[in-house]
Amino acid sequence: MRSVLVVDDRLSNREYLVALLGSTGFEVLQASDGAQALEIARTHSPSLVIADILMPTMDGYQFVRQLRRDPQHAGTPVIFISGQYAEHEARTLAERCGVSELLVKPVEPQAILAAIERAMSCGREVATPPTQAQGEPFERLHRRLLIDTLAQKAEELEATNRRLAALVALCRQLAVEHEAKRLVQVFCGAAAEIMGARYVMVALRDVVGSDLRHIVASGHDDGMVASISTPMAAMSALRVESSGKPLAIMTAEDVIAEAMAPAFLQQTPFVVAPVVTAVRSYGALFFGQLVGRRPSDSSDQEFAAMLAAQLGIAYENAARYEQVHRHSEDLQLEVGERRRAQEEARQLTEELECRVEERTRALEATHQQLRLSERMASLGTLCAGLGHDMGNLLLPIRAHLDTIGRMGPNPEIAPHLTAITECVGYLQLLTNGLRMLSYDTREAEGDAVTDLESWRGEIMPLLTSALPGGIRLECRFDKRIPSVRMSRQTLSQAVFNIVNNAADALRSRGTGSIVITATSGDGDNTVSLQIVDDGPGMSEDVRARVLDPFFTTKRRAFSTGLGMTLVHSAIKKVGGSIEIDSAPGRGTTVILLLPAVAGAEDSETPLVESKPIAAISFRDQRTQAIMTKLLQSMGYDTKPGAGPDHERAAIWFTEADAGRLDAARNFLQSRPNGRIAVAGALDEDWRRLGAVHLGDTLRPSEIRTRLREFALSNGSQCPA
């Protein structure tokens, strides 16, 4: 069987040839250097030898020269496969030692097979033994080749070292660069230098998604820079991305052959490498116009692949770093927000607790008030019955006392009668108090309004007469004080009670002063009525209990202990409040805060000074009497029998009767400021008069309600 001896110091090279020759039917023998090869050749006499040139112990030339010296094997055909160093010299040496075939790496399998065929067909005759006479002596030539090869190797090594150093420096830079855009820029500059390319371009997609995110070019080819899709276009044209391996294009012909864009013509030789990591493919790395490249040099592709891999990892890391950074920022934001939310929640909780506490307090107060008002209600029922029965008893007692009084003076019974009358007076006082306690003031007060100026005119003489001598009473009211939403009677009772208490406090001293002031406050929504005395004042205990029912500091015979309770309940019922400021030695100030009637200050004419004259004409005698009573109580001057013809009548109260229309027209024509108030159903004629309507019926209660509404809407008690 024919055999081939493969001689190479590299196992991978030998295996490659073993695999290739396995299909040709040769038995393949192997040797890792010249010495071993010589031994195998002598023992096995192979038909063909394929040998590397540069090998340890004994190189290819020495091996062939030794082989040629052995007459038995001198004719064995030899093929050299060699690296691309000093090819010309290598060929010369090969010829000198009778080797006609020299293949330069990298070498295609077909070229090897063709060379084998040629060598085999020539047979042993082809080999011509080396002769010393031809040209330069072989030894010198061989030495020079070795030296040259070494020098070239050293140079290559140095260049590779430089590249490696630059690569290491680049890797260091890439390792510390966290921003993807800057990273790509740094990479571009450094990679151009490492590769010796005039033009570098990087196109990278976003880490998530497929958008092109970074396109960075380095070099001075404006045309190429303008055509930014170049690396991607090249990659897709050359199907580099799908192969995952870099590809080198050496000549313009290749570009045309691959049907690439004309822009690439100027870029040859160029290398395109996919930027791929274990995770995904990011884009392309393009090195254009590689200076002084030989087509056989595969290191460019290796470097490009390495650089692309480094770029891919660095880019991915940077993107991840950016992601992590963003996440961390988001996280910090979230933490901040959560802290704020927690703080807010804490504040809300606090607020809520406060409100719950407040509400609880309010509830407790309401509950207490409820308990009190329950007590008061039962007390009210008791008082009502008691008051009624006592009234029913007191009326006869007083009537009989009057009768006895009319019987003429009787010195014997007179003192007893006086004593009984005094007792009855006190009982009546108590009964009135009981009646007031049982009295639903809300119902009684209705829409009652009291003009404080006119009230002052009425109450002052009464108060002054009730005070013992030596106690001075003074009244200081704000100008244009608003009216208060409270009946005259209730207000009088309240103030009377308070002034009486003040007077009682001053009585023991015999002198002192009581000052009543009225000021409008709280945006005219309330009137503050203050009753100030310079008496001995109250202790805290007394002050706290002064509003309690049946509490009194006076001798029981003079006090029911209900006065201040009544004042308090009356004031509360109209929506007002009462404050008591007092301390021993400092006197007492009672402040009544009363709801004021908005706009009341606009009524400029004091009612007391000039009462408007009202003419009243109702057919029904009783209705006429009721109207007269009501209008008098509202501050009108109701001249007895005054009709619409009364020359000073300012307003005519009448009923809607067709027979009175003419009189009504005349009334209005003769008085520029005259007004008509009319009760009953109105027809068109009455409507046209613009009269104040007192309701469709002549029912007195309805007329009374309308009169009150009318008085309120006019800001006074008087419709005029």
**For binding to another protein (CB under 8 A), which residues are involved?**
384, 387-388, 391-400, 402-403, 406, 428, 431-432, 435, 439-441, 443-446, 448, 487-490, 621-622, 624-626, 628-630, 632-633, 699-701, 704
CB of 654 to another protein, least distance (A): 17
Secondary structure percentages of the chain, helix, strand, coil, to 5: 55, 15, 30
* Closer to another protein by Cβ: residue 160 or 633: 633
CB of 595 to another protein, least distance (A): 16
Residue 448, amino acid: A
Q: Please tell me whether residue 297 adopts helix, strand or coil conformation.
A: coil
CB of 667 to another protein, least distance (A): 24
Burial of 6 (0-12, 13-18, 19+ CB in 10 A): buried
CB of 392 to another protein, least distance (A): 5
Six-digit token string for 42 = 């002598």
CB of 359 to another protein, least distance (A): 36
Measured CA to CA, the distance from residue 78 to residue 101 in angstroms comes to 7
* Closer to another protein by Cβ: residue 248 or 703: 703
Measured CA to CA, the distance from residue 123 to residue 474 in angstroms comes to 154
Tokens 């006019």 belong to 714
Q: Which one, of 83, 78, 117, 113, lies nearest residue 94 by Cα?
A: 78
* Closer to another protein by Cβ: residue 141 or 397: 397
* Closer to another protein by Cβ: residue 270 or 439: 439
CB of 486 to another protein, least distance (A): 10
Asked if 217 contacts 260 with a C-beta cutoff of 8 angstroms, the reply is: no
* Closer to another protein by Cβ: residue 216 or 694: 694
CB of 581 to another protein, least distance (A): 29
Measured CA to CA, the distance from residue 30 to residue 284 in angstroms comes to 42
CB of 402 to another protein, least distance (A): 5
- The per-residue b/e assignment along 643-682, b for 16 or more CB within 10 angstroms, e otherwise, is ebeeeebbbbbbbbeeebeebbeebbeebeebbbbbbbee
CB of 410 to another protein, least distance (A): 17
CB atoms within 10 A of CB 409: 8
* Closer to another protein by Cβ: residue 310 or 487: 487
Six-digit token string for 392 = 């029913």
* Closer to another protein by Cβ: residue 393 or 544: 393
- Helix axis angle, 452-466 relative to 488-507, nearest 10°? 30
* Closer to another protein by Cβ: residue 56 or 425: 425
* Peptide bond before residue 106 is cis, with ω within 30 degrees of 0: yes
Which helix H or strand E contains 526, and what residues bound it? strand 526-533
* Closer to another protein by Cβ: residue 205 or 704: 704
Measured CA to CA, the distance from residue 230 to residue 287 in angstroms comes to 11
